[in-house]
Amino acid sequence: MVWNRKIAFINLSTGKVSQKLVSKTMRTLYLGGRGLNMHMLYTLLKPKTDPLGHENVLFVGAGLLGGIPCLGSGRCDIAAKSPLTGAVGDSNIGGFFAPELRFAGFDHLAITGKADKPVYLLIKNGEVEIKDASHLWGEDTFETQTVIKRDEDDQNIKSLVIGVAGENLVRFANVRTGMKNSAGRTGMGCVMGSKNLKAIAARGTVPLDFAYPDELLEYCKQMNNMITSTRWAKAQSRWGTMIIYSNTNTTGLIRTRNFQLNRLEEGEDLEPENIDRYSIGTSGCYGCAVHCRHRYVLREGPYAPLYGEGPEYTSLGAFGTMVDCKKMETILVANHLVNKYGVDTLETGGLIAWAMELYEKGILNDKMTDGLKLQWGDEEAVYEMIRKIAYRDGFGNTLADGFRGAIAKIGNGSEYYAIQIKGMSNLHSDERPTPSFALGIATSTRGADHLRSRPAIDLYGLPEDLLKEIYGGSVATDYNSYDGKSRMVWWQELLYAITDSIGTCKFQTVFCAVHAPKWKEFSKLIQLATGMKLSKAQLMDIGERIYTVERLFNLREGFSRKDDSLPERYFKEPTPIGLPAARNKKIDRKKFNKMLDEYYELHGWDNNGIPTMETLKKLHLDKEPSNLT
């Protein structure tokens, strides 16, 4: 049966590999993907483990529904203790690796220890082989995948790889597969580098034995029709996630010049239709009918010829609005460079923008930046800082340790200008006009995060009766309001935890599309694929369990209520421009704290954010198992 799959436990120090089946009990408690990864992270990792030490465990997990032909079911979850934040490290990646891992005979990998020399893992039809990767060390993320295919004489092999940033232990190095897909957040590429693990390659022909294959296929067709009929999916299939820029920049919901403005003036060239100058078509991940990524070619300029995929909305902000660069070509080059080196686009752009504001204010000077003038809008300075960070060269070495490390080195009031939470950079969005978004980034278990809880439909001004139908309680229509927004964040957290655990795409659920698949549809997909009958209430409990386990992990590592807050600038500096709904807005501290109290109560946590014993018993966490029985 498709739920009864294997976990491979791999010790790189000893070379020992063991295998274990995932029990049905664990499936009903955590499903797979992120859920099972979070369970193992909490129960198998010792408290206060050094994120770069041998005892940190890297988990790679396919979703429970990975490989079904709908809803972008190619998502893979990668987890460990984060070297960037010291909190939950977890990142989700699309493409084709997760289904291939399942076809190779495994749903999850648990990797510990450190190899004596660079290695890669070859996962093939139920077997795990540790192979020499000395010839791959120093190669970029594109070439690494190409060489592995050539070495294995198999063009269909799929690989998770790191670039030079991971090798150099940049604390926000990412993990990559294909041309575009990146597990960008929390530094999972750094963990791989610390283990001398250059890549994980998968190839197999092990079948996925679905419980009701004919009915599942028919229902998957319905799900694809359901999502592609939404206005959001239609726009996304044409412009990708860049379509968000058209609305948020016009309104005044985008960070510009780090945090000085909330709209990019004269930013017309970053409008999504301008990708047409470079696009040669679109593509998508496994099981995806939307195809949200452009394949682009840059034919002129010093970086030409350059082929890439994307860019995402995130890169428009990281290398556009936040650093005040206004050309689409700049975004495409910078997007290519971070992908080539294997470093998180969001964290890189956030740190460079912060450094530019510090340079402007005189906190940084030419001597500290190796003579590089970090001036707004200087695309060459952006490119050079990407390279310097990836290679830990000069001032790049300071930024390569992330905000916490860089603040400790720079000092001199630099922390005030850092738009980060729990040590992780925020998206280029400006949440001062949107309390729901602000609460979401403050409380996320990963640090500042738009993918753990963001209720994007809050921006739509939906009728209160529809919002109540979706969220199960009273929620204000106005996105400036604080009323009911804690419920939105809590509900979305549970939904996204399930989405990450079944291995489907967040953009194909209630993120930006109101009438997208959610609890009922997920329940039926699970039943048809696995035979397991899980109601909406049971799925919500699973989501609650996963999020509470993440909370327990962070509490154990020293995080508390004080870390569920925002940079001071959110409370002190009002937004200067934008439409009336976004102008002259800042977060009200008293109302924010009330939202936080309400949010904790919804989760069943006390006022300090600690899960109550009643909650732990309800979620079967009062005697959390320490093994996968």
The CATH number corresponding to 251-425 among 3.40.50.12780, 1.10.569.10, 1.10.600.10, 3.65.10.10 equals 1.10.569.10
The answer to whether 501 and 542 have CB atoms below 8 angstroms apart is yes
Task: Report the b/e string of 462-498 with b at 16+ CB within 10 A.
Answer: beeeebeebbeeebbbebeebbbbbbbbbbbbbbbbb
Question: Per DSSP, which regions of 363-506 are E strands?
Answer: 420-421, 424-425
What secondary structure does DSSP assign to 9-48, as a single string? Answer: EEETTT--EEEEEPPHHHHHHH-SHHHHHHHHHHHHSPTT
**What's the confidence (pLDDT) of residue 440?**
98
**What's the confidence (pLDDT) of residue 4?**
83
**What's the confidence (pLDDT) of residue 627?**
38
Instruction: Please tell me the number of Cα atoms within 13 Å of 351 on its side-chain side.
Output: 31
**What's the confidence (pLDDT) of residue 623?**
81
Task: Check: pTM over 0.75? Answer yes or no.
Answer: yes
Integer Cα distance of 323 and 264 in angstroms: 10
At what angle are helices 536-556 and 485-502 packed, to 10 degrees? 100
Integer Cα distance of 198 and 166 in angstroms: 8
Nearest alpha carbon to residue 497 among 36, 26, 35, 22: 35
pLDDT, tens only, 93-109: 999 999 999 999 999 99
| Location of each CATH 3.60.9.10 domain in the chain | 6-203
| Location of each CATH 1.10.599.10 domain in the chain | 435-618
Weakly modelled stretches of the chain, pLDDT under 50: 626-629
**What's the confidence (pLDDT) of residue 1?**
66
What is the share, in percent, of the chain residues with pLDDT greater than 90?
A: 98
Integer Cα distance of 417 and 357 in angstroms: 8
Ramachandran assignment for 156, one of left (phi > 0), alpha (psi -120 to 50 degrees), beta (any other): alpha
Integer Cα distance of 613 and 198 in angstroms: 42
| Location of each CATH 1.10.569.10 domain in the chain | 251-425
Q: How would CATH label the architecture of 6-203?
A: 4-Layer Sandwich (3.60)
Q: How would CATH label the architecture of 435-618?
A: Orthogonal Bundle (1.10)
What is the share, in percent, of the chain residues with pLDDT greater than 70?
A: 99
pLDDT, tens only, 548-562: 999 999 999 999 999
**Structure tokens that stand for 174 in this block:** 């990412």
Nearest alpha carbon to residue 8 among 127, 98, 93: 127
